[in-house]
């Protein structure tokens, strides 16, 4: 039976199983130190014992609900941002910083949160995260006239809650699945896509009838009512002991470095479409309701993309699925969005980019678990997610400043094009780093990894 040991939550198996149990290699190119990596070997052996379901599906459902509020809230920010811009609170660039600060802290404190999860367990980590998210939204309802107040509530406090919830949802399902790990992660992160879609549709009429303050309070109360019970059902399959914050030896593996850098670059464009689709829709003469509907379509497509990408992870390999998602995101922003001057092409862009955008989130935990070992997924994900903080903080605001530099939100759709090309180029660059990992795994471009 497997028991957890070591600073990276490695799984120690008895010697007899080491001699009789065979597993096919994980999805990483073999590094020079792989034979000396007991965590990676232990992960392979432990993956042969996973139930591929059972209580794991309860964990997946609970994580999907947490993902609904962690990711869905961020991806519906564009609706609230548009309303606050219309009320004259501040510019899109400044309010993009407010919306981006929560995801930024999610990433910046990921290593610390992985340590907290190993100290108090996934159940209480998830409950604490949900409580902070709900509290932040309720308090934000009293700060809708204050940009500093929104930075503290909708930024800092919300981000701390996001981080605790995300580390749980991105690492726990890997304990219960191996062959179906991609599908499980896809379902979990599809919850965030569906959350963003539903919240985008609900928030627009709520803001128009009751104002942004009650929209924030609605989000907070709904989070607490649904999220706390869901977090209570979270449970580890194997006990997770205390360990180190960072496993520095991973940086000796070029594949880990490429995934680390590719993820860091790939987060810069992620929030640009959901933050700016409502504003762009208004720039081409569409109503706020249409903009909210397009954002809902983006998020719904994101949910479908998360599930589909998860299935692709199991069918063609997680690295292939991640590369396809980033490439599709780049092409949609470079070739489709710039010519979306009417509703139809903008709707097409929203669907295609939404699917690609969602694929990034659902494939990354599977890439980490398959390539670097499910036994260290908590530590490795914490390290990789930390690299996303710069993209989350600056990605959408840079697009906002580019918009201001070329005339602002009232200068027509041409003013948005520099931001589109900036976001698309970075997505293409991120895809290039993932291609380097794929190249190391197999020189055949379409080979199964």
Please give the full DSSP string across 264-308, using - where no structure is assigned. Answer: HHHTTTTTHHHHHHHHHHHHTT--HHHHHHHHHHHHHHHHHHHHH
pLDDT tier for residue 392 given thresholds of 50, 70 and 90: confident
Percent of the chain with pLDDT over 70: 85
Please give the average per-residue pLDDT across 226-236, as a whole number. Answer: 94
pLDDT of residue 444: 43
Distance CA 158, CA 26 (A): 36
Q: pLDDT tens digit string along 400-418?
A: 899 988 888 777 788 999 9
Q: pLDDT tens digit string along 189-217?
A: 888 888 888 898 899 899 989 999 999 99
**pLDDT exceeds 50 at position 1:** no
Q: Domains of the chain, with CATH numbers?
A: 47-236+244-441 (1.20.1250.20)
Percent of the chain with pLDDT over 90: 38
DSSP state of 443: S
pLDDT of residue 374: 63
Distance CA 83, CA 80 (A): 5
Identify which of 27, 67, 115, 36 has the alpha carbon closest to the alpha carbon of residue 381.
115
Which residues in 81-103 are b (16+ Cβ under 10 Å) and which e? bbbbbeeebbbbbbbbbbbbbbb
pLDDT of residue 2: 38
Q: CB within 8 A of 157, min separation 6: which ones?
A: 132, 135, 136, 139
Q: pLDDT tens digit string along 49-75?
A: 677 778 889 999 999 999 999 988 888
Please give the average per-residue pLDDT across 19-38, as a whole number. Answer: 42
Work out the widest C-alpha separation in the chain, in whole angstroms: 71
Residue 125 tokens read as 């980590």
**pLDDT exceeds 60 at position 240:** no
């Amino acid at each position: 039976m497997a028991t957890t040991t070591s600073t990276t939550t490695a799984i120690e198996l008895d010697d007899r199983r080491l001699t009789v149990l065979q597993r096919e290699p994980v999805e990483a190119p073999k590094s020079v130190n792989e034979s000396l990596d007991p965590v990676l070997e232990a992960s392979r052996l432990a993956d042969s014992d996973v139930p591929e379901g059972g209580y794991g599906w309860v964990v997946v459902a609970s994580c999907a609900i947490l993902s609904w509020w962690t990711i869905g809230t961020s991806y519906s920010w564009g609706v609230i941002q548009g309303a606050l811009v219309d009320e004259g609170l501040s510019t899109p660039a400044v309010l993009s910083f407010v919306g981006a600060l929560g995801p930024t802290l999610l990433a910046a404190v990921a290593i610390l949160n992985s340590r907290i999860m190993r100290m108090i367990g996934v159940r209480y980590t998830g409950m604490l995260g949900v409580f902070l998210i709900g509290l932040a939204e309720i308090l934000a309802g009293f700060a809708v006239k204050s940009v500093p107040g929104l930075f503290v509530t909708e930024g800092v406090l919300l981000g701390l809650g996001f981080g605790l919830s995300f580390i749980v949802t991105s690492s726990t399902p890997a304990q219960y699945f191996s062959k179906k790990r991609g599908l499980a992660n896809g379902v979990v992160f599809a919850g965030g896509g569906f959350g963003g879609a539903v919240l985008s549709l609900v928030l627009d009429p709520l803001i128009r009838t009751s104002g942004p303050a009650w929209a924030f309070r609605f989000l907070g109360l709904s989070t607490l009512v649904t999220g706390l019970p869901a977090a209570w059902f979270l449970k580890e399959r194997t006990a997770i002991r205390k360990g180190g914050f960072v496993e520095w030896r991973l940086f000796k593996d070029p594949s880990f470095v490429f995934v680390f850098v590719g993820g860091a670059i790939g987060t810069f464009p992620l929030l640009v479409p959901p933050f700016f689709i409502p504003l762009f829709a208004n720039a081409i003469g569409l109503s706020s309701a249409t903009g909210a509907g397009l954002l809902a379509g983006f998020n719904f497509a994101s949910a479908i993309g998360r599930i589909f990408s998860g299935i692709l992870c199991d069918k063609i390999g997680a690295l292939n699925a991640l590369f396809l998602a980033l490439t599709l995101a780049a092409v949609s922003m470079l070739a489709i969005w710039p010519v979306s001057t009417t509703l139809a092409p903008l709707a097409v862009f929203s669907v295609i980019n939404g699917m690609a955008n969602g694929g990034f989130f659902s494939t990354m935990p599977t890439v980490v678990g398959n390539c670097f070992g499910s036994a260290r997924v908590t530590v490795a994900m914490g390290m990789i997610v930390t690299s996303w903080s710069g993209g989350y903080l600056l990605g959408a605001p840079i697009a906002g400043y580019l918009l201001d530099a070329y005339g602002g939100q009232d200068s027509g759709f041409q003013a948005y094009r520099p931001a589109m090309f900036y976001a698309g180029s970075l997505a293409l660059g991120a895809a290039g780093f993932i291609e380097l990992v794929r190249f190391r795994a197999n020189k055949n471009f379409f080979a199964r990894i």
